Amino acid sequence: MPELPEVETILRTLKPKVLGRTIERVEVLLNKVIREPDAEQFVKDTSGRALIGVERRGKYLLFKLTGSLVMVVHLRMTGRLLYVAPDLPRDQYTHVVFYLDNGKELRFHDMRRFGTIDLIPAGRLKTFHSLNKLGPDALDPSLTRDVFKKRLKGRTGQIKKILLDQTFITGIGNIYANEILWKARIHPERSAASLTPRDLGRLYHAMREVLMTAIDHRGTTIRDYVDGEGKPGSFQELLAVHGRENQPCPLCGNSIVRVKNGGRSAYFCPSCQK
């Protein structure tokens, strides 16, 4: 699933290409991708409108259109947004095509078909059900170390599950939760209530460092992810623990362990992470 660094990279590759462009027409090839309004109305409401802004909230992309409309895109597991030439062959996983006024196409592609697109009035952004419960973005400048500590205060669950909770902080998924906790030297099953002020400081700085480094490397490509130009990321080459069961820890050389944690795989070093 594209997490914060991947969605940010998609934003950075698409924004200079689509900003100011007009959507001349839209073709919906899989109706269920469009949640609101229905697909027919979506085509009518987006055709002829210009793209005047592109933003990210956690794992969501927001495309602002003229007429005070916002297109909310969630890529889910395998979704892609690709800026391509019209002669590039399509496959069966291309579900929505936006035809732009410069002759290019913006294609929504999704092998697993879990991704979604909503079109809503800009005035509904604060109350829109997919966005209104999100916590602060993990890289929001207003999320200082002190704010981070205050948000964790009183929470007693396992720290990895809390990092994955999008109402606590938005943008972190399984890959980066594993990497952040290794960087902070914290066991994924440790109770948040047991973390010392020093632990919390390390966790906060590990979160920022891992996510920003991943953005610098254009995200992590393990299977499906590519950016808006169809290029893979390279952060997978720097992964310390995720996907590295039984391989040596980069810090101590002992074997990385994998356990099931909340239905997901937690990778960690039992020697370094306490």
Catalytic residue among 56, 59, 107, 160: 59
In the residue annotation, 2 being an active-site residue is answered as yes
Catalytic residue among 3, 6, 8, 179: 3
d(CA 56, CA 100): 21
Domain that holds residue 83: 4-124
Per-residue pLDDT tens over the stretch 67-100: 999 999 999 999 999 999 999 999 999 999 999 9
For the entire predicted model, the pTM comes to 0.96
pLDDT band at residue 103 under the 50/70/90 scheme: very high
Same domain for 152 and 114: no
The proportion of the chain whose per-residue pLDDT surpasses 70, expressed as a percent, equals 100
CA nearest 213: which of 176, 248, 163? 176
Per-residue pLDDT tens over the stretch 107-162: 999 999 999 999 999 999 999 999 999 999 999 999 999 999 999 998 999 999 99
Same domain for 150 and 263: yes
Residue 59 lies in a domain: yes
Look up residue 165 and give its two tokens: 């909770």
Residue 114 neighbours by CB under 8 Å, 6+ apart:
76, 77, 78, 79
Q: Residue 31 carries which side chain, given as an amino acid letter? A: N
In 190-260, which ranges are continuous DSSP H helix?
A: 197-216
Q: What pLDDT score does 227 carry? A: 98
Per-residue pLDDT tens over the stretch 199-225: 999 999 999 999 999 999 999 999 899
In the residue annotation, 218 being an active-site residue is answered as no
Residue 90 lies in a domain: yes
Per-residue pLDDT tens over the stretch 159-190: 999 999 999 999 999 999 999 999 999 999 99
Catalytic residue among 21, 90, 258, 264: 264
In the residue annotation, 6 being an active-site residue is answered as no
Q: What CATH number has the domain bearing residue 262?
A: 1.10.8.50
Q: What pLDDT score does 263 carry? A: 86
Contact 106, 53 (CB under 8 A): no
Q: What pLDDT score does 213 carry? A: 99
pLDDT band at residue 262 under the 50/70/90 scheme: confident
Pairing mode, strands 51-57 and 60-65: antiparallel
Q: What CATH number has the domain bearing residue 30?
A: 3.20.190.10
Average pLDDT, the chain: 97
Mean pLDDT (whole number) for 23-50: 98
Catalytic residue among 2, 5, 136, 188: 2
Contact 196, 214 (CB under 8 A): no
Please count the structural domains in the chain: 2
The proportion of the chain whose per-residue pLDDT surpasses 90, expressed as a percent, equals 97
